[in-house]
Amino acid sequence: MYESAEANPHLTWETVLKANIGFDLSMWNGLLGVEMDVYRDLRRDKIIVPTDDFPTEYGIKPSQYNAGKEERYGVDLTVTNHTEINRNFSIDNSLVFGFSRDKQVDIAESMGTYSIPRFRRTGKSASQLRGYIAEGLFSSQEEIDNSPTQNLGSTVKPGDIKYRDVNGDGKIDGSDQVMISPYGTTPRIQYGLGMNVTYKKFDFGVFFNGSAKRTIMISGISPFGQSDYNVMQFIADDYWSESNPNPNAKYPRLTSEGSANNYTTNSLWVADASYMKLRTLELYYNFSQEMMKKSKFIKGAKVFARGHDLFCVDKIKVLDPENIGTNHPTMTQYTFGVNLSF
């Protein structure tokens, strides 16, 4: 048994202060309903794990400590409407909207960030993505030799990603990383829109939902999670190769050895994961009580048809933005059935 880091007898729990204001409103006998909640969470005394490099001669890692504040705030809104046209015809609508955002109010910055403002995290979102700015692919060894030195863990070859030398020092390293997206995988906006129409014995329902201001990385995604020499079709259709050195190819060369250069966090693999889905579409027919009187055992019956995940509108196209990471496509489902009550 041995200690890997110094002990800190003053280390304590993080604390969270929560504030919430909400109201419910119903008008005109249910014609309009509004529910809204505005909230703010302030997390204090965050447990910080030191990230700065310390000399190996120190013999042990520095201890964790409490420092910094992180704020999360947002609003949740639900609007409903019920319109009764007549005794046989009614319409119900609903809108659900949620917005949230986080900000690092005060955080222990790493050494050196004060002289490089773009490295500072104070006042920015904790979920922002930082990485290198991709500027195309290297087309030849001559281009590599005449470009800033680029050593990010693997030998650079033609067909690899070329990065911007942000600080102009003639080499590509951690000092050239910048914010490549202000938000990460958690969406800032989520919403849903539903409608249900009742006409005599028929019920029709439709529901859309989606999210916005969400970013994902599409690097490293492989078919059904099997990464052994498999690639997604959209990469296979547009990658650089020695046999086809397309200078306009979007994706870097393929290799069975891996490439730390190509799969480090960079702007090439950033994708807008906003989407809107037709989540459900359903139709019911309710048999009348007069018809049920002819049966001694069945008191009620209805038949239905339902579709789930029927289509998705998004900017990624080649993958389901809702299920990135599972590597499995979302299945469209159709259900037909009969409900009986006895």
Percentage of the chain exceeding pLDDT 70: 85
Ranges assigned E (strand) in 87-242: 89-106, 129-131, 134-137, 149-150, 161-163, 171-172, 178-181, 189-199, 202-212, 215-217
- Residue 172: count other Cβ atoms within 10 Å of its Cβ: 24
Distances in Å between the Cα of 24 and the Cα atoms of 36, 83, 247 are 7, 19, 59
**What is the distance of C-alpha 112 from the center of its chain?**
31
pLDDT in tens, 219-242: 766 555 445 556 778 888 888 888
For 226, residues 6+ apart whose C-beta sits below 8 A from its C-beta are none
Average pLDDT over residues 293-309: 82
Domain positions in the chain: 1-76+100-126
Residue 78 clears pLDDT 90, i.e. is over it = yes
- Residue 162: count other Cβ atoms within 10 Å of its Cβ: 22
pLDDT in tens, 142-196: 999 999 999 898 899 999 999 999 988 999 998 898 889 888 888 999 999 999 9
Instruction: List, as one string, the DSSP characters of 93-124.
Output: EEEEEEEEEEEEEE--PPTTTTT-GGG--TTS
Q: What is the mean pLDDT of the chain?
A: 84
H-state helical runs in 21-137: none
Residue 100 clears pLDDT 60, i.e. is over it = yes
* CA distance linking residue 159 with residue 254, whole number of Å: 9
Indicate the pTM of the whole model.
Answer: 0.79
* CA distance linking residue 273 with residue 181, whole number of Å: 12
pLDDT in tens, 255-297: 877 788 988 999 999 989 999 999 999 999 988 777 666 666 7
pLDDT in tens, 23-71: 999 888 878 999 999 999 988 877 777 665 555 556 667 777 777 788 8
* CA distance linking residue 287 with residue 201, whole number of Å: 7
Contact, 70 vs 126, CB < 8 A? yes
H-state helical runs in the chain: 141-145, 233-236, 260-263, 289-292
* CA distance linking residue 266 with residue 182, whole number of Å: 14
208-221 per-residue burial string, b: 16 or more CB within 10 A, e: under 16: bbbbbbbbbbbbeb
* CA distance linking residue 238 with residue 265, whole number of Å: 20
H-state helical runs in 103-217: 141-145
- Angle in degrees, CA 128, 115, 122, rounded to 5: 35
* CA distance linking residue 210 with residue 333, whole number of Å: 18
Longest dimension (CA), the chain: 90
